Amino acid sequence: MSEIITSDPSPRRMADAIRFLALDAIARAGDGHPGAPLGCAEIATALFTRHLVCNPDDPEWPDRDRFVLSNGHGSMLLYAVLHLSGYAGIPIEAIRRFRELDSPCHGHPEFAPGHGIEATTGPLGQGIANAVGMAVAEAKLAAEFGPGLVDHRTYALVGDGCLMEGIAHEVISLAGHLRLGKLTFLWDDNLITDDGHTDLSISEDVRARFRAADWQVIDCDGHDVAAVSAALLLARADPRPSLIACRTTIGRGLPRLEGQRGAHGGRVFDSDCAEAREAAGWEAPAFAVPPDIAAAWRRGAAARNRAAYAAWQERRAALPEATRAEFDRRAQGRLPEGWRDALRTLRRRAAEAAPERPSIEVAADTLAALADTIPDLFSGAPDLEGPTRHKQALAAFTAENRAGRYLHYGVREHAMGAMMNGMAAHRGLVPVGATYLVFSDYLRPALRMAALMELPVVTVYSHDSIGIGRNGPTHQPVEFLASLRAMPNMLVLRPADAVETVEAWELALANRHGPTSLICSRQPLPPLRRGDSAENLSARGAYVLAEASDGPARATLIGTGSEVAVALAARARLQQEGIPTRVVSMPSWELFAAQPEAYRAEVIPADTVRVAVEAAVRLGWDRWIGEGGGFVGMAGFGASGPGEDLFRHFGITPDAVVREVKARL
């Protein structure tokens, strides 16, 4: 790109270029959120034209700084900045069509690293936590590959709302604890939220709150590009993470709404754009950027970083072949060659001589066995290291040891969920989080973002049913299989024994375009699959585990997880009574639904009596058992008592399955 060399336009005009792109786009769309793009224009100008290390011509450069717009409703800020910086994925036509179906400029930013969009943000608090996960990934990869290859910073622009959300406090605490010194939050401290002045709902000393968590806190005028820039230098010089509190005026430059509540998400009219132009002395027409300003943006956001980019490419090129290949693999998010081999061995071993074991133990051992083969694996279990066994030989990732591969998240499930998303979006790590299934609700908003962003994040859950026993209904999931199955793009796996657990791990890792929930038992499960099979049978979602004998099946029993054994026991009884009965193990609805209809009809024949057994609510099972099918499961919450007593108490027994079948024959 050839450049027109001119003297630098004033920082105010650089920022106004953001303002008018945002205003024009929001006015044309008919809705949007003008407050943040206008209020944060100087902050973004300071960051993007003077500090952020990136290359708009190579948006996915692995060693780029990461920028997350946590207050995602201000999406036009991001699109304007990316356009001005020269990201080809955000041309002016895309901005013109802000919030139309065919535009990459969606209502809220949607993960598209090729366009410079590092995370999907909108639900407040998620972006902040993503940024902390990215900073963890950076620190870990820097420890592995050295600062010549990995040495970048992570920035998040955050609003008042982000800082009120609980998840923010979880990650503020953790980021301070981990001393993530390359992490900087730029706080749009405008004293306004959607409801009005912040004093309606907060009187907390936010600065003191950050200091309590061992952050550096810097104050500055958020409308002074030089002041923000100086603050960013201070942030770089401190070993702690930094909060830069930028005092701003919401909707700055929009006379009718500036400084007011209505600026947050209020409608912008053409008359507003005209008034704003008048006030700013901005003469360029809608969607036009004056050439001197466009050139200065390119110089600041692109040309400034060229030397650094070239030097990095040289360092990469100079690496030994194997190191370079490994780095590239990690940066591209591919798994290493041969990653399935270790799993095959494990599966064979499980099939040969499996004792009764809790599937959470098998899952944990599988992770441990994969750790050498897949150095990308990065584990954590919010204060449930013991029950989930997901640390084992892994060293802890700490402020002192960045090479560690296990993060002690503390009792902060939501933080874990969103930080894993940040790690996966950053690339270089394959995050694995373990907790109890009931706590998946605590991280559910983050799971949804993983599903939306199509991130390969694996969550392993223990304590999957009333089988946990005496801890009682607060800790007994009954609705969670259904609620996870309801989420688009979420792969849910509930293995029935050790072999299926190893298979499930293989499927979880193979799932590169969405999150996986691997759901395990606390109580021991008997081995059901004997002898090795060449194929990963769980990959088809459901398969015939035990064929009917003495004739074609009259009944098909379908089970998942610990209830497959219940189905097998029921089958034995039915067979004894002369009723040929098939048992289908169904570790994954999503995978089964994706099979050809012929396979599905073959596995669960519609002309047999179909009875499902699962220690959970019925919701959704009618799809598989058909009208008039039987279901043995839970109708409400669990109770506190020994696990075996509970299965009897709630009637999840072979007897009950037998009754359901007979009633239908």
Q: Which residues are catalytic?
A: 413
CB of 97 vs its own copies, minimal distance in Å:
10
Q: Report residue 631 as tokens.
A: 């279901």
Helix (H) or strand (E) holding 192: strand 192-193
- Whose Cβ is closer to its own copies: residue 169's or residue 554's? 169
Q: Of 67, 442, 461, 543, which lies in the binding site for its own copies, with binding defined by CB under 8 A?
A: 442
Residues 425, 453 contacting (CB under 8 angstroms): yes
Residues 25, 95 contacting (CB under 8 angstroms): yes
Main-chain dihedrals φ then ψ at residue 19, nearest 5 degrees? -55, -45
Q: Report residue 154 as tokens.
A: 């992570």
Is residue 482 part of the contact set for its own copies (CB under 8 A)? yes
Residues 505, 377 contacting (CB under 8 angstroms): no
Q: Of 9, 113, 123, 290, which lies in the binding site for its own copies, with binding defined by CB under 8 A?
A: 123
CB of 410 vs its own copies, minimal distance in Å:
3
Stretch of 283-291, 347-355, 403-411, 520-528 lying at the interface with its own copies (CB under 8 A): 403-411
CB of 436 vs its own copies, minimal distance in Å:
9
CB of 293 vs its own copies, minimal distance in Å:
28
Stretch of 10-18, 341-349, 568-576, 643-651 lying at the interface with its own copies (CB under 8 A): 643-651
Residues 590, 541 contacting (CB under 8 angstroms): yes
For residue 552, what is the DSSP state? Answer: S
Is residue 200 part of the contact set for its own copies (CB under 8 A)? yes
CB of 225 vs its own copies, minimal distance in Å:
28
Q: Of 99, 140, 347, 426, which lies in the binding site for its own copies, with binding defined by CB under 8 A?
A: 99
Number of residues that bind its own copies (CB under 8 A): 110
Nearest CA-CA partner of 655 in 571, 576, 564: 571
Residues 562, 525 contacting (CB under 8 angstroms): yes
Stretch of 98-106, 223-231, 345-353, 558-566 lying at the interface with its own copies (CB under 8 A): 98-106
Is residue 195 part of the contact set for its own copies (CB under 8 A)? yes
- Whose Cβ is closer to its own copies: residue 312's or residue 439's? 439
Q: Which residues have CB under 8 Å from 429's CB, separation 6+? A: 137, 140, 141, 376, 377, 378, 423
CB of 152 vs its own copies, minimal distance in Å:
25
Is residue 473 part of the contact set for its own copies (CB under 8 A)? yes
CB of 57 vs its own copies, minimal distance in Å:
27
Is residue 462 part of the contact set for its own copies (CB under 8 A)? no
Helix (H) or strand (E) holding 482: helix 480-485
Stretch of 326-334, 498-506, 638-646, 654-662 lying at the interface with its own copies (CB under 8 A): 638-646
Stretch of 39-47, 58-66, 93-101, 277-285 lying at the interface with its own copies (CB under 8 A): 93-101
Angle at 409 between CA 500 and CA 148, to 5 degrees: 95
For residue 478, what is the DSSP state? Answer: S
Q: Of 635, 644, 663, 665, which lies in the binding site for its own copies, with binding defined by CB under 8 A?
A: 635
For its own copies, the binding residues in 551-610 under the rule CB under 8 A are 606
Is residue 470 part of the contact set for its own copies (CB under 8 A)? yes
CB of 271 vs its own copies, minimal distance in Å:
21
For its own copies, the binding residues in 506-525 under the rule CB under 8 A are none
CB of 148 vs its own copies, minimal distance in Å:
30
How many CA within 13 A on the CB side of residue 272? 25
Nearest CA-CA partner of 467 in 360, 587, 366: 360
CB of 218 vs its own copies, minimal distance in Å:
17
Is residue 10 part of the contact set for its own copies (CB under 8 A)? no
Q: Report residue 133 as tokens.
A: 């996960």
Q: Of 280, 308, 396, 510, which lies in the binding site for its own copies, with binding defined by CB under 8 A?
A: 396
Distance of CA 608 to the CA centre of its chain: 41
For its own copies, the binding residues in 411-430 under the rule CB under 8 A are 411-415
Residues 452, 117 contacting (CB under 8 angstroms): no
Is residue 110 part of the contact set for its own copies (CB under 8 A)? yes
Q: Of 472, 526, 605, 651, which lies in the binding site for its own copies, with binding defined by CB under 8 A?
A: 472
- Whose Cβ is closer to its own copies: residue 207's or residue 573's? 207
Kindly give the pairing relationship between strand 524-525 and strand 357-358.
antiparallel
Kindly give the pairing relationship between strand 196-197 and strand 192-193.
antiparallel
Is residue 202 part of the contact set for its own copies (CB under 8 A)? yes
Give the integer Cα–Cα distance in Å for 519 and 665.
33
Q: Of 9, 107, 146, 148, which lies in the binding site for its own copies, with binding defined by CB under 8 A?
A: 107
For its own copies, the binding residues in 132-161 under the rule CB under 8 A are 160-161
Give the integer Cα–Cα distance in Å for 83 and 91.
6
Angle at 461 between CA 455 and CA 467, to 5 degrees: 155
- Whose Cβ is closer to its own copies: residue 204's or residue 270's? 204
Nearest CA-CA partner of 76 in 113, 125, 117, 129: 117
634 residue type, one letter: M
Kindly give the pairing relationship between strand 516-519 and strand 66-69.
unpaired
Kindly give the pairing relationship between strand 458-462 and strand 516-519.
parallel
Is residue 209 part of the contact set for its own copies (CB under 8 A)? yes
Q: Of 409, 461, 543, 647, which lies in the binding site for its own copies, with binding defined by CB under 8 A?
A: 409
Is residue 301 part of the contact set for its own copies (CB under 8 A)? no
- Whose Cβ is closer to its own copies: residue 205's or residue 547's? 205
Is residue 623 part of the contact set for its own copies (CB under 8 A)? yes
Stretch of 134-142, 252-260, 292-300, 645-653 lying at the interface with its own copies (CB under 8 A): 645-653
Q: Of 438, 499, 545, 632, which lies in the binding site for its own copies, with binding defined by CB under 8 A?
A: 438
- Whose Cβ is closer to its own copies: residue 213's or residue 569's? 213
Stretch of 51-59, 371-379, 439-447, 550-558 lying at the interface with its own copies (CB under 8 A): 439-447
Is residue 449 part of the contact set for its own copies (CB under 8 A)? yes
- Burial pattern 95-133, b for ≥16 Cβ within 10 A else e, equals bbbbbeeebbbbbbbbbbbebbbbbbbbbbbbbbbbbbb
Paired with 430 in beta bridges are 377
- Burial pattern 484-509, b for ≥16 Cβ within 10 A else e, equals bbebebbbbbbbbbbbbbbbbbbbbb
Residues 420, 133 contacting (CB under 8 angstroms): yes
Nearest CA-CA partner of 330 in 423, 420, 408: 423
Stretch of 103-111, 285-293, 541-549, 552-560 lying at the interface with its own copies (CB under 8 A): 103-111
Give the integer Cα–Cα distance in Å for 166 and 240.
21
CB of 615 vs its own copies, minimal distance in Å:
13
Is residue 445 part of the contact set for its own copies (CB under 8 A)? yes
Q: CA 24 → CA 131, 176, 276, 565, 632, distances in Å?
A: 29, 40, 11, 63, 58
CB of 116 vs its own copies, minimal distance in Å:
17
Q: Of 204, 356, 547, 577, which lies in the binding site for its own copies, with binding defined by CB under 8 A?
A: 204
Binding mask 162-191 toward its own copies (x if CB under 8 A, else -) reads x-xxxxxxx--xx-xx--------------
DSSP 456-471: --EEEEE--SGGG-TT
Is residue 485 part of the contact set for its own copies (CB under 8 A)? yes
